[in-house]
Every structure is written in structure tokens, then in C-alpha cells.
Amino acid sequence: MRISEIFSSIQGEGIYVGYRQIFIRFSGCNISCAYCDEENHEGKEYSIDSVVAEVKKLNKNYHHSISITGGEPLLQINDLLTLLPKLTLPIYLETNSTLPAYLKEIKDLVSIFSLDLKPEYFKEFLESLEMVKDEDAFIKYVLLPSQQVMDYKHMIEELSMVSKDVPFIIQPVTPTKQIKHFPDSNEIISAYTIAKKYLNDVRVIPQTHKIMNLK
């Protein structure tokens, strides 16, 4: 399987922020986001056994879970189906929610689902959400500056018809080479207010690992 890196750090995003995890970062993605911070798209080839050995080596201290992240890990579904049963900590899957058919295959091996909402792939997102809405899952939505409020409102309304209770995390974008600014405070509050009209659990959580200078 192709992996960018395997390391121990602190989860910086979403509702499990602050927990120590082992991260397995899969390389390669099927989409391209302007705010992507995954620089090493090439990665290197690992055998299943070498990933298991690397995780074992890192797991000398307490870890809450193993974050399967990327890139988009579900692109390597066959390897995941072999790897995950060999790992002894709970599995936290971070996916861009564009590959519901693969999510279905792996669902029973995962304890925590972090679903990114990419508006361009809303149909696939809703299909993914439907599948895990009764599991330990949350939605992560990266808020860009100058949000199109009408589209956003429509999207939240449709999402609420699948589930009102899955936590909805608004993550103000961290500026990158292509995105120069954070959304301003009015944009953040407005995104929160609209979402809260339809959903029960809405929170704003930025990428805290960047503030702490962690991976």
C-alpha cells in the first residue's frame, strides 16, 4: 500500500480534538481541494506487515485510536480490508466522503467516522452519512472566506433530512498558498447560525494542531 507517513501525534480537528493518536497517512487522493495540506502525494510502498510493525513500535505510550487518514484512504480499500483487522486500537477513519461504496465495505471495521463534506460531491456525502449516521460519526465542513450562503443553507437543509444529530463541525479554513485569508468573524457566526437552525449539534473548531505546530 502507498503511505506518506506513520507517526504519533495529537488529533487537531473535529470532536476528538486533543486525543493522542497514531496516524497512518495514505497517499493519493481522487479530488483536489484548494486548501489541501497533504504535500507528499507520492508516498512510499509498505507491506501490510511493515505497517503493523511500525504501529506496534509507536504504540509504547497511551494512544486513544489509530487515525486512518490521507489523501483519501478508501482508494486503497483492498489493503485496508486486510490491514485493519490486524490493528489493535480503535480505528478512526477520516474520509472525503466521495466513495460511499468503499465506505460500505469497510464500515464494520471502523469505530469512529470523520466525514468531510465537500459540496461538489454532496450526493456521495449524503449516501455516506446515511450509512454511518447511527455510529460514532461527525461531519467536518471547511469554511472558506466568502461562503455562498444560499447554497450553504440549502445544503444544510438537505443534510438535516438525513440526520439532525450527527455533530456538524465548521472548520474555518487555515490559509494556504492558494487561500490567503481566514473567513472573517461574521462569516463564521453566520455559518454557525444557519447550521444551528437545522442541526442539533453545531460547533466551530479550527485546525488546532497547526497552532501547536504539530503534524
Q: Give the nearest distance from C-beta 70 to ligand SF4 in angstroms.
A: 5
Q: Give the nearest distance from C-beta 168 to ligand SF4 in angstroms.
A: 18
Q: Give the nearest distance from C-beta 146 to ligand SF4 in angstroms.
A: 19
Within residues 4-43, the interface with ligand SF4 by CB under 6 A covers 29, 31-33, 36, 38
Interface with ligand SF4, residue 70, by CB under 6 A: yes
For the CA atoms of 37, 39, 45, 49, the dihedral, rounded to the nearest 10 degrees, stands at -30
CB closer to ligand SF4, 26 vs 46:
26
CB closer to ligand SF4, 114 vs 194:
114
Q: Give the nearest distance from C-beta 121 to ligand SF4 in angstroms.
A: 9
Q: Give the nearest distance from C-beta 128 to ligand SF4 in angstroms.
A: 13
Identify the residue among 1, 12, 46, 72 touching ligand SF4 (CB under 6 A).
72
Identify the residue among 11, 96, 114, 163 touching ligand SF4 (CB under 6 A).
96
Kindly report the CA angle at 104 between 99 and 105, in degrees rounded to 5?
Answer: 100
Interface with ligand SF4, residue 71, by CB under 6 A: yes
Residue numbers of the site for ligand SF4 (CB under 6 A)? 29, 31-33, 36, 38, 70-72, 96
